[in-house]
Amino acid sequence: MNELMVKAESAKKASYKLANTSTIMKNQALMKIAELLIKKEKDIIAANEIDVGNAKGKGVSGALIDRLSLNPKRIAGMAEGLYQVASLPDPVGEVITMWKRPNELQIGQQRVPIGVIGIIYEARPNVTADAAGLCLKSGNAVILRGGSEAINSNKAIVAVIGEALKESGLPEGTVQLIEDTRRETVVEMMKLNKYIDVLIPRGGAGLIQTVVQNATVPVIETGTGNCHVYVDCDGDLEMGERIIVNAKTSRPAVCNAAETLLVDEKIAAEFLPKALKTLKDMNVEIRGCEKTRALFSDAKPATEEDWSTEYLDYILAVKVVGGIDEAIEHINKYGTRHSEAIITNDYNKARRFHQEVDAAAVYVNASTRFTDGFEFGFGAEIGISNQKLHARGPLGLKELTTTKYIIFGNGQIR
């Protein structure tokens, strides 16, 4: 029996025990994992340095190296996320609603774990800790399959998690890492309906579409992020500049980074030269429409493809639009339903943007970079879903549960 099957069977067995594990026991395990992550920080960073060195040797872009890299601050963030998850209410067992039928049957709907969750992801080792913590708290076993570029980092993190789980008395198989990084193993994992209840892909568009198109296991589709910031003629231009700089440059390789800037033609001449110079000075390549290039000569010509591209890099597409109608039309045509922002002081325009833009997260006067489980108060997240079934937006604890009906009777027959 290969590694995948052995670990899948172990996860399935563990899931039945986890579904009935007390909140206290789960929280103690989460805090133990957080404690050991900090304690074994040097071991994790040493493993991560091997991955980063290998990636640099392959000529991987700086933005992707940033996604892969761990440091004391990021490990502390991983630990803090676990502490936050431990502090959150446990959704398992919550009776959402209860009603009585005319025949005296009492029918309720209760939250329960999904079971075994499979997560396929790329070069972000922090996902390993986030996913393990959220799945554990929501009573699910998890099978992790990270990218080959982060294999050493993931093994080090999972070793820490495994030690903490053992000390906490939780079942073997609660958190499993598939160390076989061959493509054939991923394809096999996508079809393990007998053991895996749901798959969550997290990464670039190519990975997500591969899973969606090939999996027989049900998939929660996390989103690629072609995110927009629209600066309206009634917006605070200084605020608009601060927000687009943050949304584009704070971490360009993540899915909630802005990829396109839309600017109302009424304020384009005032706003664009200064804002785009600031971005260019921060090494952002500007690709603009003709009106943008007339106002900022360093902009390269934007093509039709640029409007629909998730760059995950220091590149920004810029378009001057006729107003909010054209901005909303552009976003709904080219966006990926992830995160969209408007900069405006007009209440009616803000309301229109909220109502008419089709996305998982719609912002008024704030950066798209806040679409994140930690920032939303979920402690962490498994991914950002931009689909509309079951869950949308950051996938936190409640999104990792399903429901069952519980019925109380006193001898009723039909």
Which of 157, 385, 123 shows the shortest CA–CA distance to 253?
123
User: What pLDDT is recorded for position 63?
Assistant: 77
Instruction: Give Cα separations from 267 to 162, 230, 248, 406 (angstroms).
Output: 56, 12, 20, 58
Q: Is the pLDDT of residue 244 over 90?
A: yes
Is 80 exceeded by the pLDDT of residue 330?
Answer: yes
pTM to 2 decimal places? 0.86
Mean pLDDT throughout 29-49?
97
Is residue 257's pLDDT more than 90?
A: yes
| pLDDT reported for residue 249 | 97
How far apart CA 318 and CA 372 sit, in angstroms, is 25
Distances (CA, A) of 67 to 120, 338, 381: 16, 19, 16
373 is written with which tokens? 């489980």
**pLDDT confidence bin for 386, thresholds 50/70/90:** confident
For 126-236, where are the alpha helices, taking DSSP H only?
Answer: 126-137, 151-168, 183-189, 205-214
Q: Please tell me the predicted confidence (pLDDT) of residue 287.
A: 98
Taking 80 as the threshold, does the pLDDT of residue 212 lie above it? yes
Q: What is the pLDDT of residue 243?
A: 98
Using DSSP bridges, classify how beta strands 384-385 and 393-394 pair: parallel, antiparallel or unpaired. Answer: antiparallel
What average pLDDT does this structure show over 250-278? 96
**Mean pLDDT of all residues in 116-123:** 93
pLDDT bin (cut points 50, 70, 90) of residue 253 is: confident
Asked if the model's pLDDT at residue 9 lies above 80, the reply is yes
Residue 1 has pLDDT above 80, yes or no: no
Average pLDDT over residues 44-65: 92
Contact 29, 165 (CB under 8 A): yes
- pLDDT, tens digit (0-9, with 9 covering 90-100), for 173-206: 999 999 998 989 999 999 999 999 999 998 877 8
**Region 250-266: what's the mean pLDDT?**
95
Taking all residues of the chain, what is their mean pLDDT, rounded to a whole number? 95
> Domains of the chain, with CATH numbers?
3-222+382-408 (3.40.605.10), 227-370 (3.40.309.10)
CA 103, CA 379: separation in Å to the nearest integer? Answer: 43
Determine the pLDDT at residue 342. 98
d(CA 202, CA 340): 20
pLDDT for the residue numbered 358? 96
Please, which pLDDT band fits residue 334 given cuts at 50, 70 and 90?
A: very high
pLDDT value, residue 208: 87
Residue 53, C-beta contacts closer than 8 angstroms, at least 6 positions apart: none
Average pLDDT, stretch 153-170? Answer: 97
Report pLDDT for 206. 85
Question: Residue 165 and residue 159: Cα distance in Å, rounded?
Answer: 10
What the block records as the tokens of 253 is 């390789």
Give the model's pLDDT for residue 123.
82
3-state secondary structure of 23: helix
29-43, 121-135, 151-165, 295-309: lowest mean pLDDT where?
A: 121-135
Q: Per-residue pLDDT averaged across 19-30, rounded?
A: 97
pLDDT at residue 45 in the model? 97
Distance CA 82, CA 85 (A): 5
pLDDT at residue 231 greater than cutoff 90: yes
Q: Residues near 339 by Cβ (< 8 Å), separated by ≥ 6?
A: 225, 227, 256, 359, 360, 361, 362, 363, 368, 371, 384
At 7, the pLDDT band (50, 70, 90 cuts) reads very high
Dump pLDDT digits (tens) for 84-111.
999 999 999 999 999 999 999 999 999 9
